[in-house]
Structure 1
Amino acid sequence: MNQLRNCYVFVFEGYSDWEPALAMYGIGTFTDVNIVTFSLTGEAVSSGGKLQVQPQASLAQALEADIDLLILPGGEAMEHGANTELIPLIEQLLAQQKTIAAICGATSLLAQHGFLDHITHTSNNLEVLKMMAPDYKGAAQYQDIPAVADKQVITASGTAMIPFAKAIFQHFNLLETENLQFWFNFFDNNAVLPEMLPALSFHFFYQRYETNYQGMMALVRTAIREVYLEAAKAGLEVCGAPAWHYHNFDGQPDTIFTLDIGLPVTSVLPVSAPWHCETLPPFNCVSMQHRGQWDKLADTYGSLFAGLQLLNKQPNGYTREQYLRYNFEQPEQNITNIQIGLQ
């Protein structure tokens, strides 16, 4: 496993400040990794966006440092052969099996000095890379995709700030950190995002149980079948997916909690005990769809609770699971909507 303790970020006059920003924020905010900015001399620089940056170190100090990840942003200077003073540091880190992450023009620097000749990589454009690096011999290894990680080198195009950050996070297994994953999901196009929307009022036909975890598991595949049968007997029209509503369930195996198992219906009709039919009020919640087997539901709950912590929101002890699609023979096809009530 690649271990990340110290991340060094090279800054120079006119560097493209947006390119490493997402990766730096994610690492700096959600991990205990030490981030150090450095310039060639240690003196202040002005970024492409006119951001005045006072680095914490110089190249000479970086050469003596314990670095696990070196981030190289792009910028016009990189594309035109500047910053060759970095080459000994790059060589040193690669020899130590450390990681280099280069984006945009910084990939030109790597290509100009042969670092991309024998690994899969990307850049802004293959033909442009050939022009910027006349001695470049890695065209057969070039991939026209936003970001590539191969061995200890990560490369990305200048418009791929998000894939660049994701490649870094994945390389160091940082997305296993729930808070980081929840935050980054708002940028990742492939992620299922939580929603902060009120759950609307609806009519609900259900049976109530006082149970614990073991008792709850015994109700799987039996309780909802009985609800369908009783709904038909009561003359109720079902209008939605089966749902389990949890009251004060803390996930502990011996905790007794209240569980309502039922179906949305089009109207409220009189029913006999132990059945209930009533209109449930709207409530504020954070919701997210879980796709796949139910034994992985805890992962989605973990992301939601991590998000609540980030958003400084408190759950109110009421949770719904709506089974939009369920298939016991092919559980990977399941779609479960989770709603966690908010105080």
Structure 2
Amino acid sequence: MITVYAYVLDTMADWELGFAASELNSGRFFKKDAQAVSFKTVGTTREPIKTMGGLTIIPDLFIEEIVDIGGLNAGDAAVLLLPGANSWNEPKHAAILEIARKFLQHGAIVCAICGATAALANAGLLNDRRHTSNGPGFLEMAAPGYAGQRFYVDEPAVTDGNLVTAGATGALPWARHIIELLDVFRADTLEEWHEYFSTGEAKHFFALMQTLQ
């Protein structure tokens, strides 16, 4: 079982979770032997949050209910998705950053995009791992605690072990990296899925459907 925890917070950038959340939750393109995925939204409380796009989300869980990764069964995996938001500098988010630290230390997967990369950087979690964000210089501006400049990679999305990062415009490549890391798509399915949503060309849609036969 793969348990995916998507952190939701006020002013969350709706689009940044879209590709990853929809595919991991629906499983519509999963390969036949893929591990099952349990998708849960997590908040600081169970109070509703309002996204940047004005959507209201009631979290499934609050932070304290995230399973202790040390208690997972053998073969289980835990994934934490951290979207961008304008509210990451609020002190209440320190709790999820501490969970992210523990996940990284214990081999669970942490995936951050846009403003969430700045939050990780400010917590010192990008100082010794390859990562990306909203372009060179962004993390220096947004995260006073950042000291990982030599590990910065100017790419739309970057994977380093159990850490996946992306900039604000990298939602699709971020999702591709996450799906590949979790190994829930066939390689050819993932390639055609990415090409279809990148280009909109019908030939890739039909090729994607063929990979599911």
Q: What is the TM-score with the length of structure 2 in the denominator?
A: 0.83
Q: Distance in 1 between matches of 2:146 and 2:185?
A: 34
Pairing 1:109–2:119 present = yes
The equivalent residue for 1:44 is 48
Q: Distance in 2 between matches of 1:126 and 1:135?
A: 16
Q: Distance in 1 between matches of 2:117 and 2:181?
A: 18
The equivalent residue for 2:203 is 194
CA contact (8 A) 1:185 1:193 kept: no
Q: Distance in 1 between matches of 2:38 and 2:204?
A: 33
Q: Distance in 1 between matches of 2:204 and 2:198?
A: 15
Percentage of pairs with the same residue: 27
The equivalent residue for 2:33 is none
Residues 37/151 of structure 1: CA separation in 2 closer, same or farther (3 Å cut): same
Whichever residue aligns with residue 36 of structure 1, its letter is K
Shift of 1:192: 8.2
Shift of 1:183: 4.3
Q: Distance in 2 between matches of 1:169 and 1:152?
A: 12
CA contact (8 A) 1:120 1:150 kept: yes
Structure 1 residues 13-61: Cα deviation after superposition (integer angstroms, max 9, x where no partner): 1111110111011111224311000100122111111111111100010
Shift of 1:181: 5.9
Shift of 1:187: 1.1
Pairing 1:304–2:210 present = yes
The equivalent residue for 1:15 is 12
Q: 1:85 aligns with which of 85, 89, 95?
A: 95
Structure 1 residues 69-107: Cα deviation after superposition (integer angstroms, max 9, x where no partner): 1000001112x3551121221122122200000000000
What secondary structure is seen at the aligned counterpart in 1 of 2:14? coil
- Relative to its length, the structure with more strand (as a share) is 1
Shift of 1:180: 6.2
CA contact (8 A) 2:133 2:165 kept: yes
Whichever residue aligns with residue 174 of structure 1, its letter is V
Q: Distance in 2 between matches of 1:40 and 1:9?
A: 12
Whichever residue aligns with residue 187 of structure 1, its letter is F
- Choose 84-93 or 179-188, whichever is displaced more: 179-188
Shift of 1:130: 0.5
Q: Distance in 2 between matches of 1:160 and 1:86?
A: 22
CA contact (8 A) 1:16 1:48 kept: yes
Q: Distance in 2 between matches of 1:63 and 1:136?
A: 29
The equivalent residue for 1:33 is 37
Whichever residue aligns with residue 210 of structure 2, its letter is L
Runs of 4+ aligned residues of structure 1 deviating over 3 Å after TM superposition are 63-67, 177-185
Q: 1:144 aligns with which of 143, 154, 162?
A: 154
Query: Which blocks of at least 5 consecutive residues in structure 2 are unaligned?
Result: 31-35
Q: What is the TM-score with the length of structure 1 in the denominator?
A: 0.53
The equivalent residue for 1:259 is none
What secondary structure is seen at the aligned counterpart in 2 of 1:37? strand
Whichever residue aligns with residue 139 of structure 1, its letter is Q
Query: Which blocks of at least 5 consecutive residues in structure 1 are unaligned?
Result: 197-285, 289-299, 310-343
Larger radius of gyration: 1
Q: How many residues align?
A: 199
CA RMSD for the aligned pairs?
A: 2.6
Q: Distance in 1 between matches of 2:51 and 2:67?
A: 23
- Listed as ranges, the matches of 1:126-165 within 5 Å are 126-165=136-175
Pairing 1:173–2:177 present = no
Shift of 1:145: 1.0
Shift of 1:126: 2.7
CA contact (8 A) 1:44 1:54 kept: yes
